[in-house]
Amino acid sequence: MKVNVHAVNFTVDRKLVDFIQERLGKLEKFYDKVVSSDVFLKVDNTSEKENKMVEVKIHVPGDDFMVKKQCKTFEEAVELSSESLERLLVKRKEKIRTHI
């Protein structure tokens, strides 16, 4: 699966990119037809501690899934996003199985 990381208005650390690619690569265990994913990293200019925003868009044949999470760290947000996507992909796989 191809993972595209887009950092909005800042430069992203190599360790963070590697973490994102590793974590999203695990999604292929749940649904092997994932084509690619786009990850958008943003920092909100607010006084709140939870100002790190992660949007993950996953492309599968015939559909796209998008998850947004806001947390204190990008790692935490990526972790929560990938857990949500796991559930979505498992649901999708089961849905397709019932139609076959």
What's the pLDDT tens digit per position in 30-66? Answer: 888 888 999 999 998 777 788 899 999 999 888 899 9
Note the pLDDT of residue 93.
86
Single-letter amino acid code for the residue at 96: I
Instruction: Give me the amino acid identity at 5.
Output: V
Across residues 69-97, what is the average pLDDT? 91
Averaged pLDDT for residues 14-27? 92
Domain layout of the chain by residue ranges = 2-95
Among 94, 77, 87, CA closest to 40? 77
> Is pLDDT of 21 > 80?
yes
Residue scoring higher pLDDT (99 or 14): 14
Q: Which CATH superfamily is domain 2-95 in?
A: Ribosome hibernation promotion factor-like (3.30.160.100)
pLDDT given for residue 100 in this prediction: 62
* Range 83-95 average pLDDT: 90
pTM over 0.75: yes
Q: What is the pLDDT of residue 33?
A: 85
Question: Which of 41, 35, 44, 25 lies closest to 82, judged by CA?
Answer: 25
